[in-house]
Amino acid sequence: MYVYRLASILDDLERIKSIDGDGMRNHLGRLPEFCEDAIERADKLEIPSLVKVSEDLSIQYTRPKKIIVAGMGGSAIGGSILKDWLRETLPIPIEVPRSYTLPAYADRDTLVFAVSYSGNTEETLRCFLEALERRCMIIATTSGGMLQEYCHGIGIPMVRLPEGYPPRSALPYLLLPLATSLRKLGVTLSLDGELEEAIAVLREVVEEVKPDTPVSKNPAKEVALGLEGYIPLIIGSGFYESVALRMKTQFNESSKTPAKTEVFPELNHNMMVGWTERRDLTGKFSVILLRDQQEPDEIRERIEATRSLVLDEGAARVMEIWSRGRGKLARMLSTLYVGDYASFYLAILYGVNPTPIPVINEMKRRLEKAGNKRALRKKYKKLTTG
């Protein structure tokens, strides 16, 4: 009876609308459209051969030997997905430091993507200025703010994003321009085939997971029902590590709940031991396994063995999300999309508006009072005036 009542909540469109006061459902449903718009915007990007920052400081744009994606939160996850998507084909390394500073190796041969949806992310602005100092190649992705101001001021190439979306719902804008920029710099070959397939697959998935598809036919609603009252534990492998991280952060921000990730095969060397004795604690977790029809035999064997050894008995329940499509990007994004909607539906079950993130906004307010942005403006002025 309890499960039936919960299921009826997720099939009540008026109730969903009343809880989702800021319209997160509308942003979610437009993901395929956002992908197309992001590609179109990125295609217009013009990368110069030289940017003169000041009389004493210039940046030359050539084929990079290293890539760094400087971003935080929803603006950084695109870099993680890019890294997992291309790591078996890209001949150069990608790092996503999620920090105030760049790695020591960042130099003239390094491409730094400065990614901040708002354009005011303190850590990203610090990395941007450090990249200027080190004469790194810089490409920015933003909807405005100080980052746009800095780019326009000295001619740093920038992909301008539409304003007004929560950063987590703007993922295509924070991922696909990075891939397009790499093609323009000669790092990758054309990715058009993978992009087209991924968008087509997403259009299929959205029909299954959108609010007016009932629980009985909606995999995202089923996942949310299995998570209600428990802590989500998302387990991926290989290039699904970033997808698992994306799901974790979606449950944090949209569902307003703690969540955790693990990854195969690493968890077989530590995590599973922690599940052998304290069933009173592990029973608080509901597990999501990210699965792929093309997963290697050795990973499939590990998943099945781990499930039978510790997960099935130790967790409240174990669920699986299977990817769609042939190409790696389609498989990653199709899995991620189910997770995005599952986090939305879990928020509905908890009766919380998925969009607001008041504690993050309060943190930003307190940091603003500390005067860090003033110090950033001072450093920018010093760098650009020589």
* Domain boundaries along the sequence of the chain: 2-25+193-350, 48-184+365-385
What is residue 153's predicted lDDT score, i.e. its pLDDT?
A: 95
Question: 2-25+193-350 and 48-184+365-385: same fold?
Answer: yes
What is residue 188's predicted lDDT score, i.e. its pLDDT?
A: 81
Please choose, from the candidates 117, 77, 72, 119, the residue with its C-alpha nearest in 3D space to the C-alpha of residue 99. 72
- Residues designated catalytic: 253, 269, 364
Please choose, from the candidates 341, 336, 290, the residue with its C-alpha nearest in 3D space to the C-alpha of residue 198. 336
Alpha carbon distance 204, 217 (integer Å) = 13
3 state DSSP class of 212: coil
Query: Which CATH superfamily includes the segment(s) 48-184+365-385?
Result: Glucose-6-phosphate isomerase like protein; domain 1 (3.40.50.10490)
The ranges of the chain with pLDDT < 50 are none
Does 167 sit behind a cis peptide bond, omega within 30 degrees of 0 on the bond before it? Answer: no
E-strand stretches of 168-297: 231-237, 260-264, 285-291
CATH class of 2-25+193-350: alpha beta
Alpha carbon distance 10, 212 (integer Å) = 9
Alpha carbon distance 372, 380 (integer Å) = 13
- What one-letter code names the amino acid at 276? T
Radius of gyration of the CA atoms of the chain, in A: 22
What is residue 2's predicted lDDT score, i.e. its pLDDT?
A: 64
pTM above the 0.85 mark?
yes
Q: Taking phi first (over 0 means left), then psi (-120 to 50 degrees means alpha), and beta for anything else, what does residue 301 get?
A: alpha
Alpha carbon distance 67, 96 (integer Å) = 9
